[in-house]
Amino acid sequence: MRIAFLTALEGVEEIELTEPWKAAEKADWNPQLVSTGPGRVQAFRHLDKAGTYPVDHVLAGDSSDGYDALVLPGGVANPDALRTDGRAVGFVRDFFTAGKPVAAICHAPWTLVEADVLRGRTLTSWPSLATDIRNAGGTWVDQQVEVCHAAPATLVTSRKPDDLEAFCTAFVMEFRNHGS
C-alpha cells in the first residue's frame, strides 16, 4: 500500500509526521512524503525548528492516482500553508472523491475544511478548530480518536500528539480494512 504524507515545505509538527510514518512502515506499507515544493521539509517541535525530511514527490496536480491512502500531519503552520495551495486542496479532495481513506491529526483538518469534504462527517482535531469544522458542516467531538465511515471515504482524526498511539492504531486498522 502506498501512503501519501502531505506537508508544506515548512511547519509540520515533527512527531505527527514521524510516528505515523513509522506505523505505516511497520504495517509494511510504502510511505511517501509529498510536498508543495522540492527539497527538504522543515519540521518543528511546537515553535522550535526540528529535523528536515526529504521530499519524495512534489505536487504536480490534484490527482490522488498512485496512492492508496493519505495522512495529513498537523502543526499550526503546515495546514495553514496547505489550505492556501490549490494543488494541495485538490489533492486532498481527490482522495475523498475516489473513496480512499484519509487520516488527519491536530490542526490538519484545516486543509479538510478548505477542501470542502467535512459536510455530514464527525471528527476531532485540536480544539481551536471546532468552530471551523462546524462552519464547514462537520460535527466536532472531543475524543482521542474518531473514525467516520461516511461515504465515500473513511476519515480517521485525532486531537494532538498525546493521541498518537490511538491515532496510529486506528488509521492502520482502517487503511488495512480498506485495502482488503
Q: What is the pLDDT of residues 4-32, one digit of tens each?
A: 999 999 999 999 999 999 999 999 999 99
User: Is residue 68 very low, low, confident or very high in pLDDT (cuts 50, 70, 90)?
Assistant: very high
Q: Which of 106, 148, 168, 178 is catalytic?
A: 106
Q: Which of 107, 149, 168, 178 is catalytic?
A: 107
Domains of the chain, start order: 2-179 (3.40.50.880)
Q: Is 106 among the catalytic positions? A: yes
Q: Is 149 among the catalytic positions? A: no
Residues 111, 117, 120, 125, Cα dihedral to 10°: -20
Using a cut of 0.95, tell me whether the model's pTM lies above it: yes
